[in-house]
Amino acid sequence: MNTLQFLMDGFSIAFQWQNILFAFVGVLIGTAVGVLPGIGPMSGVALLIPVTATLTAGLPTEAAAASSIILLAGVYYGAMYGGSTTSILLNTPGESSSVVTTLDGYQMAKQGRAGSALSIAAIGSFAAEIISLIGLVLLAEPLSNVALQFGPAEYFSLMLLGLAAVSGLAGKSMTKALMMTVFGLMLGTIGIDAVSGIARFTYDIPVLYSGLEFLTIAVGLFALGEVFKTVLERDHEDGTMAKIGRILPTRQDLKESAAPILRGSFLGFFIGVLPGAGATLASFFSYIGEKKFSKNPEQFGKGAIAGVAGPESANNAASGGAMIPLLTLGIPGSGTTAILMGALIMYNIQPGPLLFDDHPEVAWGLIASMFVGNLMLLILNMPLVKVFAKIIQTPKKYLLPIIIAISFFGVYAVQYTTFDLYLLLACGVLGYLFTKNDFPVAPLVLALVLGPMIENNMRRALTISNGDFSTFVTNPISLVLLLIAAAWLLVPLLLKLKGRSVVLNEEG
């Protein structure tokens, strides 16, 4: 069967009524998550995993996994659309990749062009997602075929590369990022060892035998950490919201933004495919690029529509691009994709090269549903943007306690242990403290997800080589991957030593 055939099968799954509903609910919640300042895509997806797990409880495993991942991915790309709304209307980014959008978006809103800015952001996001989806469709097969040739040694090195990429660019201090990565790997060793069946670090406590639950840790670190931060450091008073006015962009606006949208989409896509470099970097580079390309660079910062169109397209294309390493190699390149990967593993579905062979329904159903979901988002965002803007006014007083209650419900309904609730609260406090002090938490979660796989591949490779560690460097592909990983960590360090400023990726 060729790719087109698979895609058609994917559409037949995406068009099942429950999956259309799941995609719709996903993008709707995602937009809300993007609009609400304080809840990013990571905490949004983490919070919804348990909810989808219960919603899909009656379905067979494969169908349940497809439906859940369709909803969760919808939240992810929906949040990328929604993030622009607050940037433009309030000068407050709803999530970190929309920071650049505030520069020109808010200026446009002040000039009474908020409607144009919002609709261009929606159109640009749509175009970018479609472009990156086509890229995903084209690259999925060839990439997973390459990855299928990999043995345990190559896999081990590839995963190390993934970890290095995310830690190398995250946060302000690489020492801290690496510490969080190693700590995440350590947490992953708690429980019964899958290879030998020996209990490690469990101290005869029964709840520890199955290991620390990824879900509890992710929800605690991201969602609760964010809630605690807002409770402790009340955010500054909400700004005044700009009026939206006319929603459709003028012909002139469309003409001026067409090229930035295209450039932003391709740039964002390639940055998204690279592990570690996420949507924030993509939007940032796109903004710089558009300013260079522009005939009137002095317009930037004063309401240039290209400064909204480019970055907004780039951040959406990056979120589409980030799905490629996740689905084809099984390496999540960002915090949010790490959480999506954790969700798939909960359903016993291993993302990676075998995904397309073993679970075509999940992989192609998801890809097809992303086409459907993006169309929904475009339709939703153009006329309903005024309704979404109302969500911004949800009082924190009610929102924050409800987020705590939702995370309690979610964790308890999946785990059925009070232990996980205490762990959740502890992770919330740690998440707040870590983030406040520049210890990035996304590498920790990524390491927790990848840890067991890294260890298993390492041990398998060492068993084949009779315990000879040189197997990782004598194998050419593995050596190349390790060298890239080392470069990823060393190059920013060298640049720093030379006094260059290094672009950081603060999003997960």
Binds other proteins (CB under 8 A): choice among 20, 178, 382, 503: 178
21 in contact with other proteins (CB under 8 A): no
How far apart (Å, rounded) are the C-alpha atoms in residues 187 and 445? 10
CB 461 to other proteins: min, Å: 9
493 in contact with other proteins (CB under 8 A): no
409 in contact with other proteins (CB under 8 A): yes
Cβ-based nearer residue to other proteins, 259 or 462: 462
The answer to whether 306 touches 260, Cβ cutoff 8 Å, is yes
CB 158 to other proteins: min, Å: 17
SS3 7: helix
179 in contact with other proteins (CB under 8 A): yes
Contacts of other proteins in 186-215 (CB under 8 A): 186, 189, 193, 195-198, 200-201
CB 430 to other proteins: min, Å: 10
SS3 170: strand
439 in contact with other proteins (CB under 8 A): yes
Cβ-based nearer residue to other proteins, 368 or 442: 442
* Strand ranges (E), 162-207: 191-192, 199-200
CB 229 to other proteins: min, Å: 10
- Binding residues with other proteins: total (CB under 8 A): 58
CB 179 to other proteins: min, Å: 5
438 in contact with other proteins (CB under 8 A): yes
Binds other proteins (CB under 8 A): choice among 59, 183, 360, 502: 183
425 in contact with other proteins (CB under 8 A): yes
463 in contact with other proteins (CB under 8 A): yes
Which structure tokens are listed for 395? 């009082």
Length of the chain: 508
How far apart (Å, rounded) are the C-alpha atoms in residues 80 and 35? 9
The answer to whether 508 touches 442, Cβ cutoff 8 Å, is yes
Q: Convert 186-201 to b/e letters by CB count within 10 Å (16 or more is b).
A: ebbebbeeeeeeeeee
Cβ-based nearer residue to other proteins, 233 or 357: 233
Binds other proteins (CB under 8 A): choice among 141, 408, 477, 479: 408
Contacts of other proteins in 388-407 (CB under 8 A): 395-398, 400-402, 404-405
The answer to whether 118 touches 247, Cβ cutoff 8 Å, is yes
Which structure tokens are listed for 388? 């979404």
Binds other proteins (CB under 8 A): choice among 5, 8, 12, 57: 57
Binds other proteins (CB under 8 A): choice among 59, 182, 207, 259: 182
Binds other proteins (CB under 8 A): choice among 7, 345, 375, 421: 421
Binds other proteins (CB under 8 A): choice among 61, 348, 418, 474: 418
Q: Please identify which residue in the block is written with the tokens 């097809």.
A: 368
Q: What are phi and psi of 382, to 5 degrees?
A: -70, -60
How far apart (Å, rounded) are the C-alpha atoms in residues 130 and 253? 21
Alpha carbon 85 to its chain centroid, in Å, reads 19
Cβ-based nearer residue to other proteins, 58 or 476: 58
Cβ-based nearer residue to other proteins, 4 or 497: 497
Binds other proteins (CB under 8 A): choice among 5, 12, 54, 111: 54
241 in contact with other proteins (CB under 8 A): no
Q: Which of 153, 80, 92 is nearest to 121 (CA)?
A: 80
Q: Convert 2-34 to b/e letters by CB count within 10 Å (16 or more is b).
A: eeeebbebbbebbebeebbebbbbbbbbbbbbb
Binds other proteins (CB under 8 A): choice among 77, 228, 287, 356: 228
Q: Which of 102, 111, 125 is nearest to 246 (CA)?
A: 111
DSSP code string of 133-145 = HHHHHHHHHHHHH
416 in contact with other proteins (CB under 8 A): yes
For β-strands 191-192 and 199-200, DSSP reports them as antiparallel
Q: Which of 59, 8, 53, 50 is nearest to 365 (CA)?
A: 8
Element holding 486 (H helix, E strand): helix 476-497
Question: Which parts of this chain interact with other proteins (CB under 8 A)?
Answer: 54-55, 57-58, 172-173, 175-176, 178-179, 182-183, 185-186, 189, 193, 195-198, 200-201, 228, 231-234, 395-398, 400-402, 404-405, 408-409, 412-413, 416, 418, 421-422, 424-425, 429, 433, 437-439, 455, 458-459, 462-463, 466-467
